[in-house]
């Protein structure tokens, strides 16, 4: 069996989870190709594959616009597909994020065989502690092998529907219109050393260095890869600057719940997620004994 996973990942969190999928699929004899979704949508056919994965970070209760553009261009097919998505909180409202994408793929003949949502640390709103980031990623790593087995067995997870979910998702897709406008107003401050890292990490090719000056175009999708990666914290993200998170997380830190700032944010939903993951992995261990 051959599987292709199309992955959009601005700051790398979703890609980290996808690499776990690659590892566990390959351990089960499945050949995996990971295709990063960027501003170029070439080489994105599915003819050579038996199974299709689509992976993305949730943006405003929706799939980011590059994922919508991708599925619009995928060829019609009767293949199975699964969804991998990440976000900074485990709200049930995030279940609606694949609604538009799923409708497009259904019309093209694809059948969804699983949809999985993983908590990964924020790159907007506020910064999780490294301990919380490590706990999130360790939990995802514990769940992925179970989910791979479900997908291959044809018994993949289906997320619960949300009342008025499609309408809510449609309202929040205003982000797809807002981000290119806001992105044109990104600026660098005097800390910028013109290293070009922002230009290299932007998945949309929206940033360029011109005569030593950083230029931002009108194709921003709000992934925040540029601001997150900047070694000098030199990028001002216009009206969203107060929510900006800068600098990589240390996923080798001791796994622990958020403490200090924001420790009560979505705390109950995090606890449910982590406890449910522990229960599932413990049950799997018992079966394997």
Residues 164 and 86 in one domain: yes
Q: State the total domains in the chain.
A: 2
255 within a domain of the structure (yes/no): no
162 and 191 co-located in one domain: no
Task: Indicate whether 194 and 165 sit together in one domain.
Answer: no
Q: What is the mean pLDDT of the chain?
A: 93
- pLDDT computed for residue 287 by the predictor: 43
- Are 146 and 16 part of one and the same domain? yes
Q: Residue 250 falls within a domain, yes or no?
A: no
pLDDT number for residue 289 = 43
HEC profile for the chain? CEEEEEECCCCCHHHHHHHHHHHHHHHCCCEEEEEECCCCCCCCCCCCCCEEEEEEECECCECCHHHHHHHHHCCCCCCEEEEEEEECCCCHHHHHHHHHHHHHHHHCCCEEEEEEEEECCCCECCCCCHHHHHHHHHHHHHHHHHHHHHHHHCCCCCCCCCCCHHHHHHHHCCHHHHHHHHHCCCEECCCCCCCCHHHHHCCCCCEEEECCEEEECCCCCCCCHHHHHCCCCCEECHHHHHHECCCCCCCCCCCCCCCCCCCCCCHHHHHHHHHHHHHHHHHHHHHHC
User: Do 117 and 45 lie in a common domain?
Assistant: yes
pLDDT digits (tens, 9 = 90+) for 167-209: 999 999 999 999 999 999 999 999 999 999 999 999 999 999 9
Are 128 and 199 within one domain? Answer: no
pLDDT at 40 (0 to 100): 66
Whole-number pLDDT of residue 44: 73
**pLDDT at residue 41, as a whole number:** 63
- Check pLDDT > 60 for residue 243: yes
Q: What is the domain extent for residue 112? A: 2-170+269-288
- Are residues 66 and 140 located together in one domain of the fold? yes
> Over 90: is that where the pLDDT of 42 sits?
no
The CATH code of the domain that includes 211 is 3.30.70.20
Do 191 and 135 lie in one domain? The reply is no
CA 165 to CA 180: how far, in whole Å? Answer: 25
Average pLDDT on 104-125 reads 96
Same domain, 75 and 159: yes
Q: Please give the model's pTM, rounded to 2 decimal places.
A: 0.93
Percent of the chain with pLDDT over 70: 97
pLDDT (tens digit per residue) in 72-107 = 999 999 999 999 999 999 999 999 999 999 999 999
Residues 233 and 275 grouped into a single domain: no
In a domain, 143, yes or no: yes
The tens digit of pLDDT for each residue in 258-289 reads 999 999 999 999 999 999 999 998 876 554 44
Give the pLDDT band (50/70/90) at residue 43.
Answer: low
Considering the domain architecture, whether residues 182 and 102 belong to the same structural domain is answered as no
pLDDT at 157 over 50: yes
Say yes or no to pLDDT of 38 above 90. Answer: no
Q: Domain of 83: which CATH number?
A: 3.40.50.360
Sign of the alpha-carbon torsion through 202, 205, 210, 215:
negative
232 and 93 within one domain: no
pLDDT at residue 12 greater than cutoff 50: yes
**Is 252 inside any structural domain?**
no
């Amino acid at each position: 069996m051959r599987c292709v996973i199309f992955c959009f990942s601005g700051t790398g969190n979703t890609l980290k989870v996808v690499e776990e999928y690659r590892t566990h699929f390959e351990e089960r004899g499945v050949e995996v190709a990971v295709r990063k979704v960027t501003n170029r949508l070439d080489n994105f056919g599915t003819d050579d594959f038996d199974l299709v994965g689509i992976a993305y970070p949730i943006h405003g209760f929706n799939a980011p616009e590059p994922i919508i553009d991708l599925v619009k261009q995928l060829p019609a097919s009767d293949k199975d597909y699964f969804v991998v998505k990440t976000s900074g909180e485990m709200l049930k409202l995030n279940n609606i994020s694949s609604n538009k994408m799923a409708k497009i793929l259904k019309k093209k003949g694809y059948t969804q065989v699983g949809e999985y949502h993983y908590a990964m640390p924020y790159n907007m709103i506020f910064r999780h502690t490294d301990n919380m980031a490590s706990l999130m990623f360790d939990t995802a790593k514990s769940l992925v092998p179970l989910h791979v087995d479900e997908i291959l067995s044809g018994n993949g997870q289906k997320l619960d529907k949300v009342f008025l979910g499609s309408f809510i998702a449609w309202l929040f897709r205003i982000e797809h219109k807002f981000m290119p406008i806001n992105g044109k107003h990104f600026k660098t401050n005097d800390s910028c050393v013109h290293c070009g890292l922002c230009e290299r990490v932007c998945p949309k090719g929206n940033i360029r260095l011109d005569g030593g000056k950083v230029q931002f175009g009108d194709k921003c999708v709000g992934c925040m890869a540029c601001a997150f990666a900047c070694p000098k914290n030199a990028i001002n993200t216009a009206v969203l600057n107060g929510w900006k998170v800068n600098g990589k997380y240390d996923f080798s830190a001791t796994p622990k719940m958020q403490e200090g700032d924001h420790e009560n944010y979505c705390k109950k939903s995090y606890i449910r997620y982590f406890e449910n993951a522990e229960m599932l992995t413990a049950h799997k261990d018992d079966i394997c004994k």
